[in-house]
A and B are shown apart, each in its own frame.
Chain A
């Protein structure tokens, strides 16, 4: 037992010598994790860039059907939540337990707002059949499961799918646009969902008084993660909703 005589505060795991070492290592790890998140989304941004390059007209036409108002509201919601998150970290650093708990809760509320708005946005897309690939315009199928085609070989869209039926967008590339749209915002939304889980977890821990000016790393790291989620949205929003 010789090596474990020195007194460890209970928040320091025993393979670290000091709280400072634990903090340095865990912070470094968090940044490495954030680097991989960025690369993950970079792949999606590359897909966006490639298809924007291939089909500029469709991308311009299709983005008219995204609601910049809802996107804009969500941008404000997320930026505000980043502020409350930063305040939460500050509260943890100064040992203000009440503020910590309030700011975390506020962050969670904003995150949920974001998802609610997202839900309405997605519903509108589904309503107009602005869906990825094979589902764009919900094309009709015959009994064997093959797509029905019209005289010139195009898919026949379902009657209620007004926008695809209007033919103002090239169906194939529009299917790709909405594929890119759904996977980018979907992956981002998934990160928001995970963020809510993480926030709830540290909120519970905060209520038990786990954090104090000497130990607040988890709050800080969830904060880093949350800012990242915010940052990704700041790029997604103009690229998908605004750029002509």
Chain B
């Protein structure tokens, strides 16, 4: 590849100083960094809520919070984590930074739209924060009717929160539109679709879902707001409406949205596992197309959230069948990753550790989805801690682990600094242990009948109470370990930014995809001159090509 390695001509994208150079920037790298700051902030807030929830459950009695307050805290936890942390975390933060670099482009297709989406995100978040001040919502992150339309003393909070999520949706749609156009039309000369890093494929599939599913959420929430304001009736059985219709609408978005959450994680992990084991990805096309397949099938399975909501048995059976079908492309990926590791020169760097954790935790998350997709077992497991454990294994064990891994992988590229490697490895072990302790315990809780969203469990038989208490305490201890690990992580990442922090070498991991061609940190216009793509993203110099046919 041609292009520049040095820092000669232009300056680093970080070098211009001053508030306005950030607030008005059109540079995708700066916008990505601002998003990163925001999502990490919300991760912290959402995390604190989670610790409060876990602490309440240490004892069987509802002693820390009243039931109402408990409802508010877990709702806030869920809404923050889903809408302002996970969904923008990889696409809008890491993706914004990386996508043009990985494609060899100077910026995303619509830089102004990109900045607009950042401010729309801020506005939406402001609405969410306002909803807390207006009394906070207690509906759960899904805003299910009738909770969200019934008489309530916090009606304004519900309106503020739903409008906030409505607005956030537009930020997400604009990012998606931007990425799709950029990927289609702005790849470097020589880069064909099959030369794109898998991260790009994943972001592509994600963007498609963002563009096609989010508008349905928007209209759903708008209907909900009108329902509250005008007594519209369409979700209210007392007025002739249908609350299950709300669930259909909501999950038509939110099941695809779980793939908005996980697909970018798949992308990151494909990068981590190849670069840190110096191997080509096994089954590039299979992994690329399975992302697209998941995106497509993901639109047809929403009814698996409604097996016990009065959906017809025929629909349930069909939804159950299609849900099983999602497991196929998902498994293809996992096999591809494992096969990539086989005979690789694995280096146990922190990003790689997270990549390996991901395979472990995500696989558990995916497999535990299958009993939920099975009609008979879901009747037992629905709305129990088993579901909570399942989706935390995929969202936290999947996306968040991948996100942290990606953060460690590209941190040097983004900041020019290297964090304390030993501390990082140590903290990652804490995260891994803490995570599994927290959420594996919940499988036991759920399969023994502990319902989700209860702040006390003191009304069950003595022996059951004992069992619940044991697993809850395990889970809570795990969450503390997890929190310590994450705080250490935050600490050394921030410390690497201080004056005199360790400067990272130009290409610390020996990556060969295009983002490693530019200076570290990149120059303002990404590349000096136009880079040309001459080889695939995983053609590491170590790979022995002697036995290979020329093509």
Partners in one complex: yes
Interface residues in chain A, defined as those with a beta carbon under 8 Å from any beta carbon in chain B? 1-4, 13-17, 21, 24-26, 28-29, 32-33, 35-37, 39-44, 46-47, 50-51, 54-55, 132-135, 170, 172-173, 175-176, 179-180, 183, 187
Structural contact, A21 and B219, CB atoms closer than 8 A: no
CB <8 Å contact, B249 and A15: no
A55 vs B240: C-alpha distance in the bound complex, in angstroms?
9
Sampled A-B contacts (26; CB under 8 Å): A1-B10, A3-B527, A3-B528, A3-B530, A24-B184, A25-B182, A25-B185, A26-B110, A29-B110, A32-B181, A33-B177, A39-B212, A40-B216, A40-B218, A42-B215, A43-B249, A47-B223, A50-B242, A51-B234, A54-B240, A132-B230, A132-B232, A133-B234, A134-B232, A175-B240, A179-B233
Query: Which B residues touch A172, using CB under 8 A?
Result: 233, 239-240
**In the complex, which of the residues A36, A132, A187 contacts B177, with contact meaning CB atoms closer than 8 Å?**
A36
Other than A32-B176, A175-B231, give 11 A-B pairs with Cβ distance below 8 A: A3-B529, A15-B106, A26-B110, A29-B109, A32-B177, A55-B240, A133-B234, A172-B239, A179-B232, A179-B233, A180-B234
B430 interface hit (Cβ, 8 Å) = no
Q: Is A35's CB under 8 angstroms from B233's CB? A: no
The CA-CA distance from A13 to B231 in the complex, in Å, is 48
Contact A28 B181 (CB under 8 A): yes
User: What is the predominant secondary structure among interface residues of chain B facing chain A?
Assistant: helix
Q: Is the CB of B242 within 8 A of A133?
A: no
A133 touches B239 (CB 8 A): yes
Give the complex CA separation of A36 and B236 in angstroms: 27
Bound complex: CA A55 to CA B239 (Å): 13
Q: How far is the CA of A198 from the CA of B10 in the complex (A)?
A: 38
Q: A3-B525, A29-B177, A133-B231 are in contact. Are A40 and B219 (CB under 8 A)?
A: yes
Contact A37–B215 (Cβ < 8 Å): yes
- Distance of A38 from chain B, by nearest CB (Å): 8
* A37 to B218 CA separation, bound complex (whole angstroms): 11
Cβ of A36 and Cβ of B233 under 8 Å apart? no
For the complex, give the distance between the alpha carbons of A233 and B141 in Å.
34
CB of B212 within 8 A of CB of A24, answer no
CB-CB under 8 A for A176 and B245, given A25-B186, A40-B215: no
B449 within 8 A of A: no
The docked-state distance in angstroms from the alpha carbon of A54 to that of B240 is: 9
Q: In the complex, what distance in Å separates the CA atom of A189 from the CA atom of B201?
A: 38
CB of B231 within 8 A of CB of A134, answer yes
In the complex formed, the residue of A with least CB distance to B110 is: A29
Is residue B9 contacting chain A, with contact meaning CB distance below 8 A?
yes
Query: Which of B9, B181, B222 contacts A2 (CB under 8 A)?
Result: B9
In the A-B complex, the 10 residue pairs with the closest CB atoms: A134-B231, A172-B240, A43-B219, A40-B215, A15-B107, A29-B181, A25-B185, A133-B231, A15-B106, A133-B233
Q: Which of B180, B226, B245 contacts A28 (CB 8 A)?
A: B180
Within 8 A of A (CB), among B176-213: 176-178, 180-182, 184-186, 211-213
